[in-house]
């Protein structure tokens, strides 16, 4: 590990000794997945933290939610109709959350409070890759990807909250123009100006990242391209262009950041790219968010988190030190800082699939998968002071 990254990890450790909590574990043959679209498996609401995942410890894929208040013990709840996949969670106000998932009967959502998930709301008979968000002035929203004829299409619906119940308003496609190829992995987030949505889109013949934003009138803008991966034949005369995939979206203060994996540097695999929004609602030119030490190898599982104070952190995993470790970077006035890791997120074995959230005090909340050389896997969570200084 590089000295600068080691010092940052040591500073964070000395500021407050963070001990990871194991929320699920299993031996070889056990699969635990943090696969929420946009890596939105972890959320904070006031003093409460919520983490959603899927695993096969019961012999079939099932969805689980763990909630805790003020650093207290986690209470775990199961949910879903039979086999269940890709749950995502987002904060409401006052210690409540929104939950969305795919199960045997389609796409469903529920409100979560201290009693656990409330009554189920069926959103669609087929589909998945769900995302939810709440805006204090414009309410709650759900998005998902579902088949529409030959192609998958991204759909949106407003959600009304009534006690512990949710009700869906009219369902509409994010793009009224019928798709000519797949739209997948939608991710919602809500900054002060209003909600926004990003997704994978193949209308150009290769995968790029698009976005749309909703204003105070409730209207969504036409889709705009977010990723700058070039369209045209890829390096080596292959395909129609390089790929971009698995976007994440985070609000920080009154702004938004989009983060994704991008293969425009064709020979090194995917890199982590990011773009920040402008006051007019558009996004500035994108660029690499990882540092140069990761340029020669592939990155995976990008996640992003911000808070109302304007702090923004990203996480991903790669093998730059010879093992699969989780790396983080913080946005500074000069741009993305040097990547760093923490003791619990690196070392022997495989530390991967980060999900993260950033609270208003600047503490970083992380969940990830830890797998040893024998195939044993743990789902881990820790709360750590946000690293500073670069």
SS (H, E, C) 239-301: CCECCEEEEEEEEECCEEEEEEEECCCHHHCCEEEEEEECCCCCECCCEECCCHHHCCCCCEE
CA triple 222-200-83, angle to 5 deg? 120
Quote the pLDDT of residue 216.
80
Query: Mind listing the pLDDT tens digit for each residue in 100-137?
Result: 999 999 999 999 999 999 999 999 999 999 999 999 99
Q: Would you list the DSSP string of 331-389?
A: EETTEE---B--GGGSSSSEEEEEEEEE-TTSEEEEEEEEE-TTS-EEEEEEEEEPP--
Quote the pLDDT of residue 133.
98
Three-state DSSP state, 17: coil
- For the residues 26-35, what does the mean pLDDT come to? 97
- Euclidean distance between CA atoms 226 and 286, whole angstroms: 8
- Pairing of β 48-55 and β 42-45: antiparallel
3-class DSSP string for 85-103: EEEEEEECCCCCEEEEEEE
Percent of the chain with pLDDT over 90: 87
Quote the pLDDT of residue 135.
96
Listed in sequence order, the residues at least 6 apart from 268 whose beta carbon sits closer than 8 Å to its beta carbon are 295, 296, 297, 298
CA distances from 20 to 50, 137, 325, 342, 376 (A): 15, 36, 15, 11, 17
- For the residues 279-300, what does the mean pLDDT come to? 95
- Euclidean distance between CA atoms 345 and 117, whole angstroms: 30
Query: For the whole prediction, is pTM greater than 0.85?
Result: yes
- Euclidean distance between CA atoms 367 and 30, whole angstroms: 18
pLDDT at 140 over 80: yes
Both tokens of residue 211? 């976005």
- Read off the DSSP letter of residue 110: E
pLDDT at 56 over 80: yes
Query: Mind listing the pLDDT tens digit for each residue in 185-201?
Result: 999 999 999 999 999 99
- Euclidean distance between CA atoms 98 and 368, whole angstroms: 21
Which carries the bigger pLDDT value, residue 96 or residue 10? 96
pLDDT at 223 over 80: yes
Query: Mind listing the pLDDT tens digit for each residue in 231-266?
Result: 986 666 667 889 999 999 999 999 999 999 999 987
The domain locations on the chain are 3-385
pLDDT at 155 over 60: yes
pLDDT at 15 over 50: no
Q: Looking at domain 3-385, what is its CATH homologous superfamily?
A: Peptidase/esterase 'gauge' domain (2.130.10.150)
Work out the pLDDT band at 5, boundaries 50, 70, 90. very low
Helix (H) or strand (E) segment spanning residue 5:
helix 3-15
Both tokens of residue 191? 């900054």
pLDDT at 269 over 50: yes
Q: Which of 5-19, 236-250, 274-288 has the highest mean pLDDT?
A: 274-288
Helix (H) or strand (E) segment spanning residue 3:
helix 3-15
Listed in sequence order, the residues at least 6 apart from 205 whose beta carbon sits closer than 8 Å to its beta carbon are 181, 231, 239, 240, 241
pLDDT at 13 over 60: no
- Pairing of β 165-168 and β 151-162: antiparallel
CA distances from 372 to 55, 302, 369 (A): 17, 22, 10
pLDDT at 388 over 90: no
């Amino acid at each position: 590990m590089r000295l600068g990254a080691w010092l940052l990890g040591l500073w964070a450790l000395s500021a407050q000794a963070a001990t990871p909590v194991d929320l699920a574990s299993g031996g070889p043959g056990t699969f635990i997945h943090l696969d929420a679209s946009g890596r939105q498996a972890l959320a904070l609401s006031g003093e409460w933290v919520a983490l959603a995942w899927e695993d096969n410890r019961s012999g079939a894929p099932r969805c689980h939610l763990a909630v805790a208040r003020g650093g207290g013990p986690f209470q775990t709840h199961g949910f879903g109709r039979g086999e269940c996949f890709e749950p995502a969670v987002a904060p409401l106000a006052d210690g409540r959350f929104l939950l969305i998932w795919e199960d045997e009967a389609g796409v469903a959502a529920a409100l979560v409070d201290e009693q656990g998930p409330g009554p189920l709301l069926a959103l669609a008979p087929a589909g998945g890759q769900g995302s939810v968000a709440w805006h204090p002035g414009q309410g709650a929203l759900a998005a998902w990807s579902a088949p529409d004829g030959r192609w998958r299409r991204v759909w949106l619906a407003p959600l009304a909250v009534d006690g512990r119940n949710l009700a869906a308003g009219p369902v509409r496609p994010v793009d009224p123009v019928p798709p000519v190829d797949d739209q997948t992995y939608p991710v919602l987030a809500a900054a002060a100006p209003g909600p926004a949505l990003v997704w994978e889109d193949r209308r150009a013949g290769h995968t790029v990242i698009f976005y749309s934003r909703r204003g105070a009138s409730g209207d969504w803008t036409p889709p705009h391209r977010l990723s700058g991966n070039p369209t045209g034949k890829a390096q080596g005369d292959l395909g129609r262009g390089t790929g971009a995939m698995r976007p994440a979206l985070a609000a920080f203060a009154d702004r938004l950041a989009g983060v994704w994996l991008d293969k425009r540097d064709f020979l090194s695999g995917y890199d982590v790219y990011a773009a920040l929004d402008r006051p007019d609602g558009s996004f500035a030119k994108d660029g690499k968010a990882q540092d140069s030490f990761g340029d020669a190898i592939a990155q995976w599982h990008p996640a992003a988190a911000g808070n109302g104070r304007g702090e923004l952190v990203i996480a991903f995993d790669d093998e730059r030190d010879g093992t699969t470790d989780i790396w983080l970077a913080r946005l500074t006035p000069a741009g993305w800082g040097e990547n760093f890791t923490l003791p619990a997120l690196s070392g022997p074995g495989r530390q991967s699939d980060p999900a993260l959230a950033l609270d208003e005090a600047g503490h970083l909340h992380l969940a990830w998968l830890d797998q040893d050389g024998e195939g044993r896997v743990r789902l881990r969570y820790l709360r750590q002071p946000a690293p500073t200084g670069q």
